[in-house]
Structure 1
């Protein structure tokens, strides 16, 4: 799951990035409102954590522009302002939730989970394909034979494949969604993680497999008996 964190206090931002990545999120961090708007406009995020008081463009203005463009990405406003009027302004501008500083890390993570869960509540926390089940809450993939916990990017990649069973996902799409559209990471990393996942699916005796489609990408398909 990919998040954008827009927070101008760099020490706080760095700490939050570590916490979020440890919780199996992929995170892009920006430090001003204009960059936040650009990233949201050009990226593909499952949620945004948006500070209100930022240079170049405040968070409320960013939020309004995002909603005016028709983008419904879930947004959690993160700010030192705690007055009721500020909360109302934020929510009326299209925010999904509002959290004031200082805050407990557990509460932030719980609010992000709730915010992103509402976006995909039609699919729930479990994804099933063939004889395997992916638990979005525990980051575990299981079959009748065993249960394995996935690393961050393994989980995100398998979630994309299972959510689009039978559909080809390009290497570029994996890179944009999981590593970020401005990443400098070599695209060969996608093949590396596909290899990791294939070994885990084999260990589970899964009746689905990740198929490579030459020059197009990868798809999760049923295994022929």
Structure 2
């Protein structure tokens, strides 16, 4: 049943621009560095002791912003697919449970963001090789910078989806997403417990993995809370 619901959700978002947004996020992040290195490559290389590490840091400086903004847009669009056609009642009239509907929507957005992280890894590696930054290529670092922000942002994903599916006005989750994006801009000044900071991979212990562990753990808590709340609410 869950598998069928997920397939249906993917069919619903066909021709809705979801896949384009999934591509534009990572491409835009790397495109910023294409411009950056295209204009002042020699200067940037002189600033670094490790060209690959410096390049990855530059790429990562835009990743959290793209991730949080992408989460806000995708979750809102996912909920608006039902809102636009007033099809919540028809959907839940089927022999399916509310929790399975909620899980299918979460799974679709999760999959899109995971795919976006895969593209970020490919684009980052490809442009780094194009720049001829030397060897050895830090494959582990590329993986971390590509997937850690996504995993650390899972609480934001769970929260944004929760707000989106229970809101009759999609301006509310969009507003929440904008506020979260503002938080990302000021992440270095935020305390470590703020979930919008975690995708920056910064904390006072200088352990990016800690942000990932917190992201997965708190993300599960927020997901369960959102699912339980959605399950007890009346249909829109």
Question: TM-score higher than 0.5 here?
Answer: no
- Which range, TM-score by smaller chain? under 0.3
TM-score by length of 2: 0.22
- When you count strand as a share of all residues, which structure comes out higher? 1
- When you count helix as a share of all residues, which structure comes out higher? 2
